[in-house]
C-alpha cells in the first residue's frame, strides 16, 4: 500500500498514513461510480411519470455541495476527528428523504469518501471504511422513513445513530489506546462519539422542527421529487 495508494504520515503518531495522488484519484473514481449507480437505481425504480430528471440530479448535487461546505463550518472540533458542524449531516439525510434509502445510502457513502479525500489520513483500510463510507453511509438509512409522519426527524435520528455505531466500533477497535488510563475503551469511544454527534443532532432536530422551517423543507421535498 505504501508509496502507491498511501504513504507514511505520522499525524496521529506511529502507523498513520496519507493518500498519495494515485490513491486520491482511485477514491474520486469510486465516488463518481457510486453517484452514477445511485442515479441509475433512482431511474430504474422510478415510474415513467417520475423518471430521474436533471432537476433531481441538481438537487442532489446541491445538497452534497452544501453538506461539504457546512462540514467546514465547525462549531466545535475533537482532537482525533469528529466535530459539531453547521447542519452538514442534514443535507445528506435530505437526499435519502427525497429519493429513498437506496439512492440515499449510495450517495451518503460517496459523501463519506468525499470527506475522506478532504483529509485523507488513516491507519488501515478497515478503519478508513468504518469511519468514512460506512459511518457516513449510515445517514442514508433515513430514506426508509421518508413516507412516515415526522419522517425527516425520525430518519435523521436513525441515520445519525447509524453513524454513531460505526464510529464507536472504529474507536473501540482502532483508537482504544487513546482512552485515559484505567478507563474502559468502550465507554471512552461511546463518550467520544456522543460528544460531537449528539449536540449537532439536537441542534438540527430543533431547527427542522420549527414550523416555518418544517414547512419550507416539505415544500423543497415536493419540488425535488416531482417529475
CA torsion angle 206 209 213 217 (round to 10): 120
Q: What are the pLDDT digits (tens) for 1-27?
A: 455 556 766 544 556 676 677 777 787
Mean pLDDT of 114-133: 87
Residue, of 132 and 28, whose pLDDT is higher: 132
Burial 44-55 (b: 16+ CB within 10 A, else e): eebeeeeebbee
* Closest to 217 (Cα-Cα) out of 146, 136, 164: 146
Q: What is the pLDDT of residue 49?
A: 42
Number of domains in the chain: 1
- Say which residues have a Cβ less than 8 Å from residue 208's Cβ, sequence separation at least 6: 90, 152, 153, 156, 214, 217
Residue 160 maps to a domain: yes
Instruction: Name the DSSP class of 147.
Output: T
Residue 1 maps to a domain: no
Question: Domain holding 84: CATH number?
Answer: 1.10.1760.20
The yes-or-no verdict on residue 105 having pLDDT over 70 is yes
Mean pLDDT of 71-78: 91
Residue 30 maps to a domain: yes
DSSP reduced 3-state for 183: coil
Q: What are the pLDDT digits (tens) for 38-64?
A: 666 666 665 544 444 577 778 888 888
Strand partners, 18: 7, 121
Question: Which residue range forms the structural domain that includes residue 17?
Answer: 6-225
Residue, of 185 and 41, whose pLDDT is higher: 185
Mean pLDDT of 159-171: 97
Burial 134-159 (b: 16+ CB within 10 A, else e): bbbbbbbbbbbbbeeeebbbebbbbb
The answer to whether 52 touches 46, Cβ cutoff 8 Å, is yes
The cell for 85 is 458542524
Q: What is the pLDDT of residue 56?
A: 72
Between 24-33, 116-125, 133-142, 200-209, the lowest mean confidence (pLDDT) is in 24-33
Q: What's the chain's average pLDDT?
A: 85
The answer to whether 95 touches 159, Cβ cutoff 8 Å, is no
Q: Give the length of the chain.
A: 227
Q: What are the pLDDT digits (tens) for 206-216?
A: 999 999 999 99
Cα(216)–Cα(115) distance, rounded to whole angstroms? 28
* Closest to 137 (Cα-Cα) out of 99, 173, 96, 170: 96
Amino acid at each position: 500500500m505504501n508509496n502507491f495508494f498511501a504513504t507514511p504520515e505520522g499525524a496521529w503518531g506511529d502507523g498513520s498514513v496519507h493518500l498519495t495522488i494515485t490513491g486520491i484519484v482511485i477514491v474520486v473514481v469510486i465516488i463518481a461510480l457510486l453517484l452514477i449507480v445511485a442515479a441509475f437505481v433512482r431511474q430504474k425504480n422510478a415510474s415513467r411519470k417520475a423518471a430521474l430528471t436533471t432537476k433531481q440530479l441538481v438537487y442532489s448535487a446541491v445538497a452534497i455541495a452544501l453538506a461539504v461546505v457546512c462540514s467546514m463550518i465547525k462549531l466545535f472540533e475533537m482532537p482525533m476527528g469528529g466535530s459539531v458542524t453547521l447542519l452538514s449531516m442534514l443535507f445528506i439525510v435530505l437526499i435519502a428523504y427525497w429519493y429513498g434509502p437506496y439512492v440515499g445510502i449510495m450517495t451518503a457513502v460517496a459523501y463519506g469518501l468525499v470527506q475522506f479525500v478532504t483529509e485523507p489520513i488513516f491507519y488501515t483500510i478497515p478503519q478508513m471504511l468504518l469511519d468514512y463510507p460506512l459511518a457516513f453511509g449510515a445517514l442514508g438509512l433515513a430514506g426508509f422513513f421518508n413516507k412516515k409522519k415526522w419522517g425527516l426527524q425520525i430518519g435523521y435520528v436513525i441515520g445519525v445513530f447509524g453513524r454513531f455505531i460505526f464510529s464507536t466500533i472504529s474507536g473501540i477497535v482502532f483508537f482504544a489506546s487513546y482512552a485515559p488510563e484505567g478507563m474502559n475503551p468502550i465507554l471512552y469511544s461511546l463518550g467520544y462519539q456522543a460528544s460531537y454527534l449528539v449536540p449537532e443532532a439536537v441542534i438540527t432536530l430543533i431547527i427542522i422542527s420549527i414550523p416555518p422551517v418544517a414547512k419550507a423543507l416539505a415544500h423543497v421535498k415536493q419540488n425535488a421529487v416531482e417529475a
